[in-house]
Structure 1
Amino acid sequence: MSTTAPPSADVLPPIPADLGILVRRRIEAEIIKPIYDILERELGEERAGAIIDEAVTAAAVRAAGEMAAREPAGGTLQGFIAIQPLWTRDGALEVEVRKQDARRFDFDVTRCRYAEMYRALGLGKIGHLLSCNRDAAFIAGFAPEVKFSRTQTIMQGAPHCDFRYGTDTPPATP
């Protein structure tokens, strides 16, 4: 069995640094929609959703590891907090921070353009798989010691999403 080495950096065009995640998710959704439609037709809604969930979760873990490696405080809660503007860029999320300190980052999302976009694209029933389900996988790949919880999402009909991140590990001191 042969394995293929990943392409070198000079082969892959760089993703523009100013490309917000909302725009990335739209591009992904435009590609995923016809794939999902075929999977659903051939395998049924439950199996199609499970396949999309598995693929998106794996992509989130991989992306998290890459981001953690690039972020100066990567692999920590503080590093995770530092990259939050990537998700809110372009007015993608309206956020109310509830608590932010060395060991906690709790916030509520009161408007989610990701959810609005998925619904507009006809992907409302799997929007949670394309976006919301990434959150736990992403933090596990970015900072494994950070615990994550969320009890509700706008995508699934709640008035807000309640993100709660925490760690028992004290931040490193210089």
Structure 2
Amino acid sequence: MADALRRYADRHPAQAPVAAGFVALLDDGDAAFLRGRLDGHFTASAWLVDRAGARVLLTHHRKLGIWVQLGGHADGDRDLRRVALREAEEESGLAGLRADPEIYDLDRHWIPGHKGVPGHWHYDVRYVVRAGASEAFVVSEESLALAWRDIGAIAADGAADASLRRMARRWLERGGR
């Protein structure tokens, strides 16, 4: 994981300080991958794009009440790419998904307290996940809704989550690949 984070920092020098914080979290070993570590822990997310590369599947998150990418807790799994893929499958009901091998984005964000769990930091490692033959999703219990959203529109939407806009701009700069 440390090597993957360093490669990410090399590709995205402006986010090198963020990547360094993620590398430092690895010093906590297995605890860093458990949601019980309330000083902060790893999560993984999916930038789930359609076959054409023009839309991304977002969730209206039940607990947070905002539109974000699919994802969740590592729950002890140190393979965050696998976590992102699993979360995308579970939260969308889509089959035949594929995750790109390299980290796409990193984001450290605060999660407010909820139902007795105090507020804490998520160190979210994000991967591009590509839709398979079917793009007909199923809304899971974790979401209020799911929707395919135009990536260009997200990039231009000043009201959208800042990290979503960053990922959308990056996607467009890469030519939608």
Which has the larger Rg?
1
Could you say which structure has the higher helix fraction?
1
State the TM-score, normalized to the length of structure 2.
0.23
State the TM-score, normalized to the length of structure 1.
0.24
